[in-house]
Amino acid sequence: MFSFQKNKQISEPADPSSRRNVLRLFKWKIKLPKIKQWIRLPFILSTKEKLFFFSFSILFLCSFVFLSVNGYFKNTKINPARGGIYIEGVVGQPGFVNPIYADSDIDRDISQLIFSGLMKYGKNLEIIPDLVEKYEIEDNGKTYKFFLRDNLFWQDKTPLTADDIIFTIKTIQNPDFKSPFQANWVGVEAEKISENILKLKLKMPYVAFLENCVLKILPKHIMESIPAERFPFIRPIGSGPYKLKEEIKQGKDGQTKSLTLSENPYYFDEKPKISEIKFIFYDKDEDVAKAFGAGKIDGASLASPYALDEKLIRYSFPLPRYFSVFFNPEKSKVLADKQIKLALNYGTDKKSLVEKIFGSVDQALIIDSPLLPDFYGFPQPSKIYEYDLEKAKNILEQAEFKDENQNGLREKITKKEPAFVFGKELKSGSSGKDVTELQKCMVKFPEIYPEGEITGYFAKKTEEAIIRFQEKYSKEILEPWGFRSGTGIVSKTTRAKLNEICAEKTEDSLPLKISITTVDQDLMKKTAEALKEQWKALGVEVEIKTLPISRLELEVIKTREYECLLFGEVLGIIPDPLPFWHSSQKKDPGLNLAIYENKKADKLLEDIRKSADIFSQTDKFAELQNILIDDAPAVFLYSPDYIYLVAAKIKGINSEKILDPSKRFIGVENWYIKTKRVWK
């Protein structure tokens, strides 16, 4: 303990040195207690002193800790830290981990993380440079000059140059490779200026061309020697923020179980903070929901509502996509009739359909136009098909599709004129086609024409047969003339009876039956079933056909082998509806899925595309959408937001408008799991 000592008072000395000694005597002397003294302290203090001393010590210690911690938190802030693994559950299977074939959501997700493009989408969906440092537009919008960044590398540390971009474009243009993006690059000429500079030349100005340039680039040094048939299946080497960490894991059934990506150390831009992203593939939404509940995954998108952990963060991304039933009048006599298409539009209760599929109308936007005026800010259409079951039925009645059999299914009965009608007077000695048809008719009556000969010549046996025929039907044939026996001459009343018996009109039945073809996926199957149920109330028989996306694209969409196609279409950030509705796009690789043709619509589509500023063409968009709606080439159904459910530990995600689900990974470098405190 501290030792405080003070000397007794003495008389003041006479000399100065003595005075200094006296002053020194009066100064306090401070000594720190020895360890032995600290140990003896509890035995020296009284009970009250002990209580006071220990209370004071604890208070002092707590105050010190509080002030230290409070000071630390006040003078530091939380920052994202590197590390962690994000695991996402996905329904379906990856098809091609190759950007020039990636036209499914799963394939696009993986390509978005592994590969880079000349351009990319910014967080507000503006198109900004990615691999390029800058670009210039020349020749009135027909030439684009790109300047690549310095020090670009593939994930295997090979330099990325203009040769890789040109190789990718030419590969897509080559029909042998059957890329679904071939149509975007028809007529584009790629020219190398230097290792880091290239030009892309167009035949005509195209204001949305930069959006095509978000195309992910392939490595020429890896891919140029690969034949077309093996091209889609090569292990991906990209230049994006992540790379494939290991071989894709497959089960005994050949199905891909999981795929893991790790940080690309040679990525040219800001490195991602999450070290690894793992995709686990499931068969159904229900399986993903169970995985969420078991804590096996951190994120997923589910097409159907499920009772999931309330702690999950729900992100909603608006998309410029819509789902419709596209009619193919070339594959269905029924759908060649515009009245049927109108009836199906009026007979579709979109509100009920959305509530049934999504659980609420808040989960998907009901649409009446394929131009998505709500997304782009265009005027709303002047005409829409409000649900009206009775009106739909009346339209079908007027189109002569009736439920004559009262079995709930409509059909159209059409009477066909006979192929041959007796119109000439025939008698003994006549010959030719009329006699041949006469003999064919008599053959039906063995008791009248037992010989059954078909010679084309009116001989005695034919005459005898006619006499017997006339006498059999004497009331209609002979009595009007006052005859009692047959004459053997095919005159007016005889011809009338022959036509009644042998030249009767036939009936053709056209059942009101159509098939809906769609992808084998929960959302699409539920939508198809809901449509089948609603259209059954109209008297329409519906058959549903489902196929995996890869087969649907190759066997159905490319060949246009469908009557009705339930499918989705995605517009760009710069809306260019020409590929979807221009008559030149009716065949593959065009995307005119309704085989739609309208000269006025074609002209509007061409004018919109030629414009330097598409968004200034509001009047033309409004006119175009009214034409499309009036022609009813499809039933436009809904445009759902992309709902992304993520565990609360995953931070840094921003839900903005996105072009397609893979664009949720825009800004993935800002996602993080781990944190650290740093001084302010």
Q: What is the pLDDT of residues 283-308, one digit of tens each?
A: 888 899 899 989 999 999 986 656 56
> One-letter amino acid identity for 262?
S
Helix (H, G, I), strand (E, B) or coil at 276: strand
Q: Is residue 350 part of a domain?
A: yes
Q: Are residues 407 and 556 in the same domain?
A: yes
Q: For the ranges 501-510, 584-593, 619-628, which has the lowest average pLDDT?
A: 501-510
Q: Are residues 352 and 485 in the same domain?
A: no
Q: Is residue 5 part of a domain?
A: no
Q: Are residues 536 and 615 in the same domain?
A: yes
Number of domains in the chain: 5
CATH of the domain at 142: 3.90.76.10
Q: Are residues 475 and 532 in the same domain?
A: no
Q: Is residue 8 part of a domain?
A: no
Q: Are residues 228 and 123 in the same domain?
A: yes
Q: Are residues 548 and 628 in the same domain?
A: yes
Q: What is the dihedral of CA 434, 438, 440, 446, to 10 degrees?
A: -170
Q: Is residue 170 part of a domain?
A: yes
Residue 40 domain boundaries: 16-74
Q: For the ranges 18-27, 451-460, 556-565, 642-651, which has the lowest average pLDDT?
A: 18-27
Q: Is residue 418 part of a domain?
A: no
Q: Is residue 94 part of a domain?
A: yes
Q: Is residue 63 part of a domain?
A: yes
pLDDT (mean) for 606-626: 88
Nearest CA among 399, 392, 373 for reference residue 615: 373
Considering 195, 217, 234, which residue would you say is the last residue of a domain? 234
pLDDT at site 15: 52
**pLDDT at position 3 over 60:** no
Q: Are residues 367 and 467 in the same domain?
A: no
Q: For the ranges 8-22, 255-269, 439-453, which has the lowest average pLDDT?
A: 8-22
Q: Are residues 471 and 345 in the same domain?
A: no
Q: Are residues 102 and 244 in the same domain?
A: yes
Q: Are residues 218 and 142 in the same domain?
A: yes
Q: Find the DSSP H helices in 75-194.
A: 105-114, 162-173
Distance CA 290, CA 468 (A): 84
Q: Is residue 9 part of a domain?
A: no
Nearest CA among 524, 636, 633 for reference residue 571: 636
Residues 531, 566: contact at Cβ < 8 Å?
yes
Q: Are residues 484 and 348 in the same domain?
A: no
Q: Are strands 564-570 and 513-519 parallel, antiparallel or unpaired?
A: parallel
Q: Are residues 522 and 621 in the same domain?
A: yes
Q: What is the pLDDT of residues 568-614, one digit of tens each?
A: 998 888 888 999 999 999 998 889 999 999 999 999 999 998 887 77
To the question of pTM greater than 0.85 for the whole model, the response is no
CATH of the domain at 656: 3.40.190.10
Q: How confident is the model at residue 417 (pLDDT cuts 50, 70, 90)?
A: confident
CATH of the domain at 600: 3.10.105.10
